Structure 1
Amino acid sequence: MSSWSISITDSFLNSSLTLPNKIRDKLPDVIEKLKNNPKPTNGHSVKIKGIDLWRIYVTHRYRLFYKYDNQWVKLLKIVERDKDTYKSENLMSIAEEESLCVIKIDEDESLPTQSSFLTSEQLEHWEIPKEYHERLLSIDQEDDLLELPIEPKWIEIIIDCLPSREKSIEEELDLIDKKAEYVLEESDDIRKYLQGEIKNFYLKLSEEQEKILNQKNDYPLLIKGGPGTGKSILAYYQTKKLLKDGYKKILFTTINPSLIEYYIKPLKALIGDDLQAKGVTLKTVDELASEIYRRSYGERYKLATEEICLFCLKSVIHEITIIPSIKNQIINLGLNYLLDEILIVIESRGIESCDEYLQISRFGLGYKPEKQIMEQIWEIYVQWKKILRKSGYITTEHIRQKALEIINKKNTSVFNAIVIDEAQDLSPVAIEILMKLAISKNKFYLTADTEQSLKKLPFAWDFLQDENEYKGEIRTLNRSFRNTEQIGKAYPSIISSVETASFSNLRGEKPKIILTDDLLNQAKLIKVFFKQSSKKFKLPIYTGVILSPERQYGEFLARQLSFYGLASEYQDKLNHNSSNSCIRVLSLESVKGLEFPFVVVVGLTEGLLPNYINNSHRDEQKELLKQQRQLFYIACSRAMRSLLVFGSKNQPSSFLEPLRENDYWQIEVL
């Protein structure tokens, strides 16, 4: 049995496509040699002088570059040897060695020569969809390729299949080495992949993640960690481990349908295509609660929008009889505060009486009204709920409450284990529903980062344990893999309370803040930013996104960029099934749990971000500012390779002030 495990990169998989078919068939044997022994003593490998890099013959013409450490061999890329392959200083010794050998070209290795940038034969051999051929054949340089409005994965395949024209192979491999790793379980799996029998490979865990996964967990477990530390990846692996341990009914859940959709691909790569047949249910808590509620109450009520909730609340305040001085104080709190008080304090915790409301802990919340005010808020809540119900409306939290009542009454525990990602944005009632659906609380796993909570929900491990009378354990992930070192150092400074994680070893530019009030120039600068980032990291330009605090601003910017020749589209939420052939402009709230190579954050203008709500109480205003600062933090932490922030020159956001005081950001005033 071999003692080495194999990990692979996207570049290795893509470069495998360049091989003639008969050479592809030789790859499993080459990989098997490395599994048995990746060191030079195997008689096939050569170390690159001065750096931790190795290469092994595939054939006379092709070389496989790799690294090895801690019983893992990482396959980076297959390179066709030509006069430029060993042009860097560290590779000269190999060049001298191989110059003594005649490169024998087998008939199996021959591919058509080309005079143009791309040929039809290449595109067919690399299995690029025919619908893109005409556009691809019309370009004559790599920069044009990166900007083509076609699905990015095909561009990335072509980039990896083409010989590097601007970087040495050493520089290119250094970039590849910092990309994600996937696990190749069997040597023959590469043949199956190239023949279409395997669609995806699953991500390799870090040592830190492996340690947490392999610990014995006979208790509820919370995985904490900042952005990019791999909490979701660990949740995927935890699901696989539960299946391996014999658990037949597992729920994998998170905060919204968009993230559920995002999780399907990695879970299928790890577990198999038919998740349901394997015993894994992938649903949000609200999908589950709605199913339970509808079975008992039917479709009689419609879900109330925020606008409907505010309209009814305003009507109740005007109609209800309250002492004038108290009524004025309530009006001064503002409708948005009152609605938050109802939905987040009362309904999200399942509070059933005024006495309970007066005594409830306000963990994670700001301003607490005086007793008289709270008593009147409760009366307003009772009337507000009555009007909604008699008008055919119901809130999300009320559906959750009713579902919880049904579960408690019928003792409906259906899952052997439950895995929750992004738990910090679930209400106490939602968490309790999930706990009650679990047959055993000992198989209850959560991932969370309270600094990424967009709501004033009382998520804290101690709070949850006290409320639900059980004890669990906490494990923390400390290393971030998402961002460049420069971005990883910069975005935590947005929130002073954030502990700095250890960073990836990928280097890039410091993120930049540009202060300008010229909207036309801003659009031009955004276009330049995406072009430069795309070229620097050799990634398709349309993998970038723009994040806006306001829909109107986002739609305006998307139109501007499209007019300037950079196809852009505003989306209320990320469409994972779209062709991704344009720059997506998204709301700040819609990108929780996601990541993008290039990110532009706009709207850092006082009054826009932060957006002050008129007439709200001073203490509540502080809480609102804290939430919006977290929103800015989350937006910036989505950036993997390049980050650009735009603020106003004349009315810059107060969120930018502390960023001027450190050396992690570039500041430019136009």
Structure 2
Amino acid sequence: MSVHGKATLRLLDKADKQIRALPRPVKGAIYDFQYRFRENPATPGLQFKRLQGHDLLYSARVTSDYRALILHAGDNDYILVGVRARQDVYDNLDRFRTQINEVTGAIEFLEIVPSTEIDAQPPETAAVPVAAPEPESAPPSRPTAPANAPDTPQSMFAHIGAEGLRELGVTEVLIPSAMAVDSEETLLRLIKYAPSMTEEVLLALADGKGFDEVLEQITRPVAVPEPVDTSDFGAALRRPATRVSTEDTDLQDAIEDPFNRWKVFLHPAQRKLVRRSYKGPARVSGGPGTGKTIVALHRVKYLVEQLPPAKRKQVLLTTFTTNLVADLRKRLLELGGQELVDRVDIVNIDKLASRIVTEAALGGRRRRINDLQATDEWRDMLVELGETSWDAEFLSAEWNQVILGQGIATRSGYFRARRAGRGQRISRAQRARIWELVERFTMRLNEKGVWTYRQVAETAARVKAEQAAKIEENRRREEEHGAVFLHRQEQSWAGLRYDYEHIVVDEAQDLSPAHWTLLRAMVAERDDDIFLVGDTHQRIYDNHVSLSSLGVNIRGRSSRLTLSYRTTRQILGSAMRLLGDESWDDMDDQSDDLAGYRSVLTGPPLRFLAAATPEEELDTVAEVVSGWHRRYGDEAAVAVAAPTKSMVGEVQRRLLAAGLRSVTIGSDAAEDSGSVHVGTLHRFKGLEYRHVLIAGAADGIIPRAAVTRLRDADPLRYRRELQKARSLLFVAATRARDALVIAWSGTPSPFLPQDTESVSSAQGGGTIDGALFAPDNAMF
């Protein structure tokens, strides 16, 4: 084949795993190789040539001793499927397989090695062991039950059978080996370099998922409805199931860090959601690390690309947590460059509301206060009035969620207000008294020259709702009479338009009713108007909403992501148990769960460390963190989460005494990668670290002791507070990428496995809920 000019070079999913095992100098050479190849594959120094016995598989020179294996997918499209030692390439030509999966139509690459030889292979060899090798030139067969695959109770997939695995999309040549799997060790060895689809299916089945569940959640979303042409690699490249990096991606990100793969590869399920057209608002949910944010960012890019150029910012990207905004901006810049960022308004939702109120010249010079400060004001006022019928937390939530959330401005309006989900029922007389207290409270804030962010959001929502009403009225009159018939006093309406063409919301579960009312008024109701991603299992604020009641109708347009890219299987399983048996809502009066939530990453189990006293616990924290730093140095990426600000200070002082630098995670995530990051549990939203230690996980702290007093007085509110505390612990636990430790002194939190009480000291040993508990010197 003669090749001239520039080419696209993509990286096939999972090839990065094999490449990362190569010597560092070789990896460095790959970065240089990719640029040279893209400029001109025919450059003489690359020695680009087709491999003997293969129609579409080529080799190219990376170094004198290593060759890139490259699949030609048609035209100028090429896929890097691996890098091997030069001699291994030419000695094993008959073992390489480039094929198209008959179920998904995806491109797959395998190096088939008999299982009897796999242990002798060097670590950088991306070889898949098979139960029995096939003849050299024979195409993959379709046996219904291979004679050498024991269909016995010892086989992990005996209940599925070979035909069932085939229907689920397992690579044909690996079905005999899959049927021979009888332990997790054998399974992990098989899937290490198996195609991604095979890996996901087998792990899901091994986790106890049934055939129908795996078919619905994993296979069906990427299955090709029509017969697959297994010779058309160009068509296969364009299918969502073929996981390759984008043509302009620097392969370094995918190769250097296994947890960066999600930044380079859009999972087929993700790509489908990004490019779909929705007949109105749409929602994507999923557990931590499933790529919800990357879906939101790619969705922003996709929407912008569909719009004609304009001088204004046409798409809004917003979220609740302040420290996530800078991260969203940075990642969107990496994804699409400055030209993309210039067309997107990336702003925290409360800052957006403040901007609207300021532009409308409302609020004067009043200073903003947050929810905690507002609750303190409620508490002070109740003490001054001698009011004991209601507590500050209840009144603050009632004011925020019902009165401000629904934009209620009158006493009679409050009498008619819907209080779904608020728990404690209140009579008409009680509503009258609450309204009196609310009026006193707002006067108190006015006198002090302050107002809450919730008030600002409600005011901004009112401003934009009035504007939206004028826009719609203007449109109606133009349709009926034409613009020339508009009355003179209405001419000011003519220039009005909605603020954005599209709105994308990250961490949607954290927004309040007033926030949603504001967003609904800033974009016209039409196709693809609002796209939101979130997970109610990570709701750590008192924001419970029914989206349909606020004009954001997502029913019939909701999707779920279930594959975690950040958290290992071991940490994920333990973190999910922290959620208990609670029932979770879906932000629209329905229930939600994490069914099918899984990970293909593996690592050490969650570890629990008990201490007799708070001082001993702080010593344990310092020992664990020191151990991580001794082993990994500045690349340890360590964080310590604590339930209170006072404990954050205590942890930092103890780390300093141990000779460790630390920084506090503030409203903006700390950038100092060489220090230990320490912060309250709330501050960990949206962050990720290789190693995380959660301290203070004791009874009476997580959850707070005050919560137990609500058990009988207000059962629903009690349940909500428990859910919030569980979510907070769950969020912090799932920030860990490689290792997670949970420590406490005294009695452990009731959210932890019950048999943790059997651990009496951080110097002891034992097994807790299937997780290894070991002395400090055995942990690293």
Q: Is the TM-score greater than 0.5? A: yes
SS in 1 for 2:521: helix
1:345-394 CA distances to partner (integer Å, 9 max, x unpaired)?
32233232344434444444443444433321221011100121132111
Q: Secondary structure of the residue that 1:556 maps to in structure 2?
A: helix
8 Å CA contact 2:642, 2:695 repeated in 1: yes
Residue 328 (1) aligns with residue 388 (2): yes
Match for 1:210 among 248, 265, 271? 271
Matched with 1:475 is 559
Further displaced range: 627-636 or 296-305: 296-305
Tell me, yes or no, if structure 1 residue 492 matches structure 2 residue 523. no
Counterpart code for 1:449: D
Among candidates 234, 251, 262, match of residue 295 of structure 2 = 234
**Equivalent position of 1:295 in the other structure:** 359
Q: Structure 1 residue 267: deviation in Å?
A: 0.7
Which residue does the alignment assign to 2:606? 511
Partner residue, 1:90? 121
- The residue number in structure 1 matching 2:369 is 304
What do residues 29-80 of structure 1 show as CA deviations (whole Å, max 9, x unaligned)?
Answer: 56999999899726986xxxxxxxxx864231344489999x9946677989
Q: Which residue of 1 aligns with 2:285?
A: 224
Give the one of 609, 632, 639 matched to 1:545.
639
Per the normalisation by structure 2, the TM-score is 0.62
Tell me which residue corresponds to 1:652.
748
Partner of 1:125: none
Is contact 1:220-1:444 (8 Å) kept?
yes
Distance 2:600 2:336 in 1: 30
Q: CA deviation at 1:528?
A: 4.9
1:568-592 C-alpha deviation (Å, 9 max, x unpaired): 223334535x232201011111122
By how many angstroms is 1:665 displaced?
3.2
CA distance in 2, matches of 1:371, 1:72: 71
Task: Indicate if the aligned counterparts of 1:480 and 1:501 stay in contact, CA closer than 8 A.
Answer: no
Cα displacement (A) at 1:559 = 1.7
State the one-letter code of the partner of 2:612: D
Q: 2 CA distance for matches of 1:409 and 1:93?
A: 64
- 1:58 aligns with one of 54, 62, 79: 62
After superposition, the Cα gap between the structure-2 partners of 1:559 and 1:296, relative to the gap in structure 1 and judged at 3 Å, is same
- Report the Cα offset of residue 303 of structure 1: 0.8
Partner Cα separation in structure 2 for residue 618 and residue 38 of structure 1: 73
1:250 is aligned to 2:345: no
Range that drifts further, 373-382 or 343-352: 343-352
Tell me how many residue pairs correspond in the alignment. Answer: 559
Q: Which moved more, 1:655-664 or 1:505-514?
A: 655-664
Note the 1:499-648 alignment, pairs <5 A: 499-530=594-625, 540-576=634-670, 578-613=671-706, 617-619=713-715, 620-648=717-745
Q: What is the CA-CA distance between 1:9 and the residue it aligns to?
A: 5.1
Listed one character per residue, the Cα deviations across residues 214-244 of structure 1 (whole Å, up to 9, x for unaligned) are 3332321110111111111111111111122
Partner of 1:115: none
Contact persistence 2:304–2:340 (CA under 8 A): no
**Identity fraction in percent:** 20
Q: What is the CA distance between 1:627 and its match in structure 2? A: 1.2
Which deviations, in whole Å up to 9, do the C-alpha atoms of 1:299-333 show, x marking residues without a partner? 4211134565345434543565xxx9xx4322xxx
In 2: Cα distance, 1:388 partner to 1:216 partner: 45
Q: Does residue 542 of structure 2 align to residue 456 of structure 1?
A: yes
**Structure 2 equivalent of residue 152 of structure 1:** none
Higher relative contact order (CA 8 A, sep 6+): 1
- Pick from 324, 328, 338: which aligns with 1:263? 328
The answer to whether residue 511 in structure 2 is matched with residue 447 in structure 1 is no
Counterparts in 2 of 1:401 and 1:579: CA distance versus 1, 3 Å: same
Please list the CA deviations of residues 130-156 of structure 1 after superposition, one character each: whole Å capped at 9, or x if unmatched: xxxxxxxxxxxxxxxxxxxxxxxxxxx
Residue 511 of structure 2 contacts residue 543 of structure 2 at CA under 8 Å; is this kept in 1?
yes
Whether 1:465 aligns to 2:541 is no
Equivalent pair of 1:254/1:420 in contact (CA under 8 Å): yes
- Distance change >3 Å, CA 93–CA 629, structure 1 → 2: closer
Say which SS state the counterpart of residue 222 (structure 1) adopts.
strand
The more displaced of 541-550 and 380-389 is 541-550
Q: 1:302 to 1:584 in 2, by over 3 A?
A: same
Letter in 2 for 1:583: V
Write out per-residue CA displacement over residues 243-283 of structure 1, whole angstroms, 9 at most, x where no aligned residue.
22126511111112210111122211221124443x11101
1:73–1:665 Cα change, 3 Å: farther
Quickly say closer, same or farther: Cα 1:655–1:508, change in 2 above 3 A.
same
Query: How far off its partner does 1:613 sit?
Result: 2.4
Contact 1:239 1:250 in 2 (8 A): yes
Going from structure 1 to structure 2, the CA distance change for 1:377 and 1:626 (only over 3 Å counts) comes to same
CA distance in 1, matches of 2:695, 2:725: 14
Q: What runs of 5+ residues in structure 1 fail to find an aligned partner?
A: 46-54, 95-169, 194-199
Distance 2:69 2:627 in 1: 28
Alpha carbons of structure 1 residues 547 and 431: separation in structure 2 relative to 1, 3 Å: same
CA RMSD of aligned residues (A): 4.5
Out of 578-587 and 71-80, give the one that drifted further: 71-80
2: CA distance, partners of 1:218 / 1:25: 42
From 415, 421, 432, the equivalent of 2:500 is 415
How far, CA to CA, are the matches of 1:518 and 1:563 in structure 2? 18
TM (normalized to structure 1)? 0.72
Amino acid at match of 2:655: L
Task: Say whether 1:346 aligns with 2:403.
Answer: yes
Distance (Å, rounded) in 2 between the aligned partners of 1:669 and 1:190: 40
Q: Does residue 497 of structure 2 align to residue 433 of structure 1?
A: no
Per-residue Cα deviation, 1:68-94 (whole angstroms, up to 9, x for no partner): 99x994667798999xxx997214999
Q: Show CA shifts across 1:601-648 (max 9, x none).
A: 111112211112286544233432221121111111211111100122
